[in-house]
C-alpha cells in the first residue's frame, strides 16, 4: 500500500508561527513543520507550473508559504480558539487549494505578458515589423527562453513590469544604449522566429 501524503496540522502551523527560541526539542518541531508545509505547497506548485515556468516554482512556493504563515499568525492573535477545530485533512486540502490558486494566477500572468509582448512587438522594432498574421503568444515562449538571460530580463521588465528603458538601465546597472539595442535585437529575433513558424506551417 502506497504511503499516504503527509497532512498538515494546526499545531504544525503554530510551531512555524511561534518559531523556536531553544536549540532543543522545539527547534526540531519547528524545522519539521517548515519542511512538511513547504513540501505540500511545493508539490502543488511544481505540478502546475514546472513545464511552463520552472524557474518560478521556488518563488511561488515561498509566496504561498508566507501567505499561510501571515494568515495563521493573525488567527493566533485574533481567534486562537477557532483554530483547534480545523482537522488535518480539511487544513491540508485548504493549503493545497491556496497553492493551486496562486500557481494558476502565475500562469495567467505569464500568458497576459506574452500577449502584451506580441501586441507591442512592432512598436519595438519598426524596421522589422511582425508578419501580417496573428501570432499566438504561446509561440513566443520557446524563443524567449532561448534568449540570453539579460535580454530575457529586459523584455520582462519592459512588458511584464511596464518599466521604461531608463528604469531598466538603472535597475540592472546597464547603459541605456545597451538596454535599447538588446531589446531591439530581441524583437528582431522573435519576429524572425514568428516568420519561420508561419512559413513552416504553410510548407514553404
Query: What mean pLDDT comes out for the span 118-141?
Result: 49
**pLDDT value at residue 111:** 67
Query: What mean pLDDT comes out for the span 49-57?
Result: 81
Which tens digit of pLDDT belongs to each residue from 14-38? 888 777 443 444 555 778 888 888 9
Percentage of the residues of the chain whose pLDDT score is greater than 70: 72
Which tens digit of pLDDT belongs to each residue from 148-198? 888 888 887 877 677 788 888 888 888 888 888 887 777 777 777 776 766
DSSP annotation string for the chain: -PPPPP---HHHHHHHHH--SSSSHHHHHHHHHHHHHHHHHHHHHHHHHTTT-GGGHHHHHHHHHHHHHHHHHHHHHH-HHHHTTS-HHHHHHHHHHHHHHHHHHHHHHHHHHHHHHHHHHHHH-TTSPPPSSPPPGGGGHHHHHHS-HHHHHHHIIIIIS---HHHHHHHHT--HHHHHHHHHHHHHHHHHHHHHHHHHHTT-
Which tens digit of pLDDT belongs to each residue from 131-152? 443 345 556 777 788 888 888 8
Residue with cell 485533512: 89
**pLDDT value at residue 3:** 55
- The CATH code belonging to domain 125-201 is 1.10.10.10
**pLDDT value at residue 198:** 67
Extents of the domains making up the chain: 10-108, 125-201
Amino acid at each position: 500500500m502506497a504511503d499516504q501524503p503527509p497532512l498538515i496540522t494546526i499545531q504544525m502551523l503554530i510551531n512555524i508561527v511561534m518559531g523556536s527560541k531553544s536549540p532543543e526539542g522545539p527547534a526540531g518541531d519547528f524545522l519539521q513543520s517548515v519542511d512538511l508545509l513547504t513540501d505540500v505547497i511545493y508539490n502543488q506548485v511544481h505540478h502546475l507550473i514546472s513545464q511552463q515556468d520552472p524557474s518560478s516554482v521556488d518563488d511561488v512556493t515561498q509566496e504561498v508559504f508566507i501567505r499561510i504563515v501571515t494568515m495563521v499568525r493573525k488567527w493566533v492573535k485574533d481567534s486562537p480558539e477557532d483554530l483547534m477545530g480545523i482537522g488535518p485533512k480539511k487544513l491540508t486540502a485548504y493549503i493545497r487549494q491556496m497553492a493551486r490558486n496562486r500557481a494558476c494566477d502565475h500562469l495567467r500572468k505569464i500568458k497576459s505578458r506574452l500577449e502584451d509582448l506580441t501586441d507591442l512587438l512592432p512598436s519595438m522594432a519598426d524596421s522589422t515589423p511582425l508578419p501580417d498574421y496573428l501570432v499566438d503568444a504561446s509561440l513566443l515562449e520557446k524563443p524567449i527562453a532561448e534568449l540570453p538571460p539579460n535580454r530575457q530580463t529586459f523584455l520582462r521588465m519592459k512588458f511584464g513590469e511596464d518599466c521604461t528603458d531608463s528604469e531598466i538601465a538603472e535597475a540592472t546597472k546597464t547603459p541605456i544604449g545597451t538596454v535599447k539595442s538588446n531589446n531591439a535585437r530581441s524583437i528582431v529575433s522573435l519576429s524572425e522566429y514568428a516568420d519561420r513558424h508561419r512559413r513552416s506551417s504553410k510548407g514553404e
